[in-house]
Amino acid sequence: MHHVLRRLIAASATLILLLSPDAAQAQATMTITGRVTSNGQPLGGTQIGIVELSAGAVTDQQGRYSFIIDPARASKPVSLLARSIGYRPIRRSITLSAGRSEQNFELEKDVLNLETVVTTGVSDATSQKKTTFAVAAVDNAQIKEAPASSPLGALAGRVAGASVTAVNGEPGSAPRIRLRGPTSLTGSQDPLIIVDGTISRLSLADINSEDIERIEVIKGAAASSLYGSDAANGVVQIFTKRGAALAAGQTSVTVRNEYGSNDLRKTVPNNFSHPYKVTAAGEFARDANGNRVQEDDKISDNSYPKVFDQLGNVFRSGQFMTNYISVGQRNEKSNFNASFQNSKDQGIANLLSGYNRQNFRMNLDLELHPKLDLQTGAFYGQSKADASDDSSGDAFFGLRFLEPNIDLLENNPNGTPYKAAIRQTPASGNVSNPLYNWSNIQSLNDRNRFTGTLKVRYRPFQWLTYEANTNFDRGSRELRRYVPLGYIGSTGTVSKGNISSDVDQ
């Protein structure tokens, strides 16, 4: 009887173990949990992981984290690393053993950004101070203090040795960047531009700076040794925002509205004297052909009887406005960030409507399997600009030759506004009335751009990673110009007008 009872007890114990594999598995695994804080406040979005095993987790909004690891994967102490952007990382040595281990961290602010992580020119994320070459980094915290209209503008005054200058004052134009000064007399001096892993040959004026997570810059010969001859003038790599920086389960909504005005800051004083003879009534003395007669000494010491504020007529105080919204979210196995921006810059040129741009961006990360993840992104931007025609004899070029006694607001003989026939002989034939040109000539610049990225990463083993990516960046620009029938030139001649269109893809 006792023998039968012992068999029943043994069979029951075996059955319980078979029905409870989780309990047996829990005894064979190690759960690492804890909380990350800074100045006593929870620090969400902190990455906690074991460096040697490529395993870990991200803290939630309360700063808590937890992940399970098999102790058999390591026979010696391993490093548990806690890292968050803008904070000094902490590395702690632990020994893996079955059961539960609580590891709490208190991170300190990295005021000097000595522990900034960069990826440009290295195979994996590396601390900036550990790279064998100089990598300058500008993060979103610096950019959002004073966002520029383009990514390159965000580098102005923030990267040593980088010169950022405006090509022209036209709204929507991208600035020019030079790293460590000019490098060639005849060749290109532009650095290699990389946006989310895509080498870009198009203008960065289509991308808004609010979408940027960080910018990394490599200057000098190091860039060429890492990226080839295309990077002889340096490398500028731009990373746009993703949801990976958020805490687990966190949703972030950003709304930004900006309004301001642009003005003509400085002007060169005009010359209000002329070298022509004048009559007793103060009018110009003219010869038989109606031309003004110069003084024998040809010295400009005679004052114009009447002068006008031509720069005040041509330029104005132009308003600009930017509306931006972004939504980001991070879940257990996915994260995304989507944004939309509307930007309008009236410009300072009177009568022109300026520049208008709309951008949409979407970045998505997915963990399809513990060993397989996917990153994808899409960007579409369109812009329209009422461009000023600054070709020879027009707009600003002609404004430089105007004499101060010409009234640009005077009507033409046919009653239309802004006097066109303003040439005074003898004088340069390049003179023109910009106001008349802008009110009659339509010069439009339309741009469209689409960018797509896809990256797949597969890790079959701890020491082996396969990575495949494809990128697409395509833009088009259409320049349209319409000169109406009856257009009056600066000498009073009437043209038949013309229509032209130039498409660049």
Dihedral in degrees, nearest 10, Cα atoms 156, 160, 162, 168: 30
CATH of domain 117-240: 2.170.130.10
Sign of CA dihedral 289, 292, 293, 297: negative
The answer to whether the beta carbons of residues 167 and 180 sit under 8 Å apart is: no
Contact 300, 293 (CB under 8 A): no
Joined together, the tokens standing for residue 380 give: 């579409």
Q: Is the peptide bond before 182 cis (omega within 30 degrees of 0)?
A: no
Whole-number Å distance between alpha carbons of 6 and 14: 12
Give the residue from 256, 276, 301 showing the smallest Cα distance to 427: 276
In single-letter form, the type of residue at position 272 comes to F
**How far is 47 from 444, CA to CA, in rounded Å?**
49
d(CA 377, CA 382): 17
- pLDDT of res. 361: 96
Tokens of 411: 């009507």
Contacts of 42 (CB under 8 A, 6+ apart): 35, 36, 59, 61, 62, 63, 64
Instruction: State phi, psi for 342 to the nearest 5 degrees.
Output: -120, 125
3-state secondary structure labels for all residues of 355-371: EEEEEEEEEEEEEEECC
Which residues, in sequence order, are bridge partners of residue 292?
286
Beta bridge partners of 284: 278
Q: How far lies 421's CA from each of 311, 397, 404, 413, in Å?
A: 18, 16, 15, 10
What pLDDT is stored for residue 324 in this prediction?
95
Q: What is the pLDDT of residue 11?
A: 43
Please identify which residue in the block is written with the tokens 């590395």.
Answer: 91
Give which of 22, 49, 34, 30 is closest to 97, Cα–Cα: 30
Report the distance separating Cα 315 and Cα 352, nearest Å: 10
Backbone angles phi, psi at 205, to 5 degrees: -65, -15
Give CA–CA dist 375/198, Å, rounded. Answer: 13
Q: Render each residue's pLDDT in the chain as its tens digit; 505 residues.
A: 444 444 434 444 444 334 444 444 445 788 899 999 988 889 888 889 887 887 888 888 889 999 888 877 766 788 898 888 778 888 898 888 888 889 999 998 876 555 566 666 555 566 655 565 677 788 887 777 776 767 777 787 778 778 888 777 777 777 788 887 666 666 678 888 889 888 888 888 888 888 988 888 887 667 777 778 888 888 888 899 998 888 888 899 999 999 999 888 777 777 888 889 888 887 888 888 888 888 888 888 888 888 898 888 888 898 999 999 999 999 888 999 999 999 999 988 888 888 999 999 999 999 998 889 999 999 999 999 887 655 444 566 777 778 888 899 999 888 889 988 888 877 666 788 889 888 888 888 899 999 999 999 998 887 888 999 999 899 998 888 898 998 888 778 888 888 988 888 7
Q: Which residues pair with 33 in a beta bridge?
A: 66, 102
Distance (Å, whole) CA 379 – CA 323: 17
3-state secondary structure 276-343: ECECCCCCECECCCCCECECCCCCCCEECCCCCCHHHHHECCEEEEEEEEEEEEECCCEEEEEEEEEE
- Residues forming a β-bridge with 34: 65
- Please give the helix or strand (H or E) that residue 43 lies within, else none: none
Instruction: Please state whether the predicted TM-score (pTM) of the whole model is above 0.85.
Output: no
3-state secondary structure 393-428: CCHHHHHCCCCCCCCCCCCCCCCCCCCCCCCCCCCC
Sequence spans of domains, the chain: 25-106, 117-240
Which residue's entry shows tokens 């594999």? 21
Of the candidates 394, 429, 423, 393, which has an alpha carbon nearest to the alpha carbon of residue 406?
Answer: 423
CATH 1.10.10.10 for domain 25-106: no
pLDDT score recorded for residue 458: 93
